[in-house]
Structure 1
Amino acid sequence: MTLTERLGAIAPQSWLRVSIGVAVLTIALKTLAWWVSNSVGLLSDAMESLVNLASAAFALLMVRVAQQPPDAEHPYGHHKAEYFSSAFEGLAIIVAALAIIAAAVQRFFHPQGLDQLGWGLGLSVLSSAFNGVLAWAMLQSARVHRSMALEGDARHLITDVWTSAGVVIGIALVAATHWLWLDPLVAVGVALNILREGWDLVWRSSQGLMDKRVERSVQAEIDRVLKSFEHPKIRFDHITTRRSGRRRFLDMHMHMPANWTLRRAAEARGAVEQALMSAVPGLRASIQLLPSDVEAHSEDAEDLP
């Protein structure tokens, strides 16, 4: 078993619990780094870690909701709950970035000296190492589980690592040049990077909630399976796909000779459905049978221009 497979074998909830624990640890380390150094750059780093903690806790809640089985009110399940987690992370990142900018602007007008930079930088680097290792492991698991919540939390941690790297470089420059204005300038640069990442998460979540089609790689796999069933008497059309959290849905028409028995037609459809769902894990295929000489319109009148 490869390392990726081993990491993928760990449930998303377990990774998010680890993320919460690491967030608490990094908050302590980065807050101590800010306390001993009096750097607004390190303060901005500590504030983002607070967002990490809130985001991981909310992601854990949404993953639990997403795993609930279908019910009378939600016959297709609760998989889209993970998109709410990702959107929340994005909004939380944006709020944190604005708070960092506010603190940096205040420091521009009231510059203060920095103390014990060695300790401050050391603690920041240590916390970043924890976040970097955890983010890498979570991304591997997110690809296996197709978990938007897990991926969102991992990418947030990666942003935190880049943030810390920028802060460390900026503060090192302050120590070398004694230009105090570099400290708030680095904080603003960090905040702008965080804003970009936050907006990206919000945008991707909105696309998921709007029933976006499946990924190109998944569509290619679907096309490959359907091509393997090509036959002069069988054809497929009105192929529509969508994503919903970890699930992928496929609706299409399957045309075959009108004189085929119901059993033969049902067996042919069953073979196609089984092949599709075996090729694409998590896929739910719905195939409508139609005679070869019958065409059906799948568009709703309200959807037509």
Structure 2
Amino acid sequence: MNRQMRLVLLSLITGIVLMLIKFIAYFITESNAIFSDAAESIVNIVASGFAYYSIYLAAQPKDENHPYGHGKVEFFSVFVEGGMIFIAGSIILIKSIYSLFSPQPITNVEEGMYLILATSFINFAVGFYLMKRGKALRSLTIEADGKHLQVDAYSSIGLIAGLLIMKLTGLAWIDLALSFVLGTFILFNGYKLLRKSISGLMDESDTEVIEEVVTILNANRKPVWIDVHNLRVQRYGQELHIDCHLTLPNYYDLNKVHDCISDFDQVLNENLHSKTEFFIHADPCMPECCHYCTVENCPIRSEPYSKHIEWTTVNVTKNMKHFRDR
């Protein structure tokens, strides 16, 4: 069992235990707000179960039918988790509206608060750990699972605060208000996860990774790398696929071009914290490149070097050499 699967298994076991505690709290209090919190725990369990399977599938090697591997399933996992959260939020809002017209008396509020407080501490601790490990492992599934648990912990803290106010004031409507607020909060977080997963499934460019790539390239820039453009980054699970155009001196032979591309590949693979596959297209330089080219003793230079062009997320992603962007 790999590290990611162990982390998801931790989330799954935690979710089952906390769900049981929350439903015990609901049954002894009959609180709509506590029911809202318990209902989300069911989502945690279902999402963690699917995440466990997706981590297993993403770890499978490339094959003829999946030449880029199985990493995209992580985006689907996040989509399922976001969808489940969205559905849970909708159910909570529906029950809140129903209870508005058919209220139930609330009992044993203090005991219920203690149980929910215990679950919030556990959820926050496990969620924090999963998010930290998810970022280190570059796993969207682990990170999303950790974020979900932390959101659950925050909502539980808000729930406790509201129940305490209700106990002190005796205002029963606070329970319904809390349930409605929690449902809306859960809906919003489900939407954010859905948005993130759809972006990945639609191959939306990963701006954070592009910024990281540009920083690494500027720090390790070589004179013969005259410019980089048409840079695109796609994430497949823990792996990155990067393609770009690299402008090189047009008098280089094929062996020299191959060496330059290998250096470019090595620089990024040594500094990025993900396994990276490159597709680099070599472009020959043109006379218009001379004013920003820093190659020394160039035999074909048509004008002296006069301008430094910093590589940015704007000019490296455009499909044009940098002199065309003046």
State the TM-score, normalized to the length of structure 1. 0.87
Structure 2 contact 229–319 (Cα < 8 Å) conserved: no
Match of residue 31 from structure 2: 39
Match of residue 285 from structure 1: 278
Larger-gyration structure (1/2):
2
Q: How many residues get paired? A: 289
2 CA distance for matches of 1:236 and 1:218? 12
Paired amino acid for 2:140 = M
Q: How does 1:255-266 map to 2 (within 5 A)?
A: 255-266=247-258
Paired amino acid for 1:20 = L
Are 1:84 and 2:76 counterparts?
Answer: yes
How has the CA–CA distance of structure 1 residues 250 and 175 changed in structure 2, closer, same or farther, with 3 Å as cutoff?
Answer: same
Q: CA deviation at 1:80?
A: 1.1
1 CA distance for matches of 2:278 and 2:218? 12
Paired amino acid for 1:46 = A
Q: CA deviation at 1:290?
A: 3.6
Can you give the 5+ residue segments of structure 1 that lack an aligned partner in the other structure?
1-9, 300-305
Are 1:50 and 2:26 counterparts?
Answer: no
Match of residue 5 from structure 1: none
Structure 1 contact 214–248 (Cα < 8 Å) conserved: no
Q: How does 1:1-305 map to 2 (within 5 A)?
A: 11-216=3-208, 218-225=210-217, 228-231=220-223, 234-282=226-274, 283-293=276-286
Q: CA deviation at 1:139?
A: 0.7
Q: CA deviation at 1:241?
A: 2.4
Paired amino acid for 1:24 = I
How has the CA–CA distance of structure 1 residues 163 and 220 changed in structure 2, closer, same or farther, with 3 Å as cutoff?
Answer: closer
**Following superposition, which runs of at least 4 residues in structure 1 exceed 6 angstroms of deviation?**
none
Match of residue 303 from structure 2: none
Paired amino acid for 2:176 = P
Per the alignment, in what secondary structure is the counterpart of residue 114 of structure 1? coil
How has the CA–CA distance of structure 1 residues 267 and 105 changed in structure 2, closer, same or farther, with 3 Å as cutoff?
Answer: same
Q: CA deviation at 1:156?
A: 1.1
Structure 1 contact 111–181 (Cα < 8 Å) conserved: no
1 CA distance for matches of 2:209 and 2:53? 30
Per the alignment, in what secondary structure is the counterpart of residue 211 of structure 1? coil
How high is the sequence identity, in percent, across the aligned residues? 25
Structure 2 contact 16–45 (Cα < 8 Å) conserved: yes
2 CA distance for matches of 1:186 and 1:233? 58
Structure 2 contact 32–179 (Cα < 8 Å) conserved: yes
How has the CA–CA distance of structure 1 residues 216 and 99 changed in structure 2, closer, same or farther, with 3 Å as cutoff?
Answer: closer
Paired amino acid for 2:239 = R
Structure 1 contact 211–244 (Cα < 8 Å) conserved: no
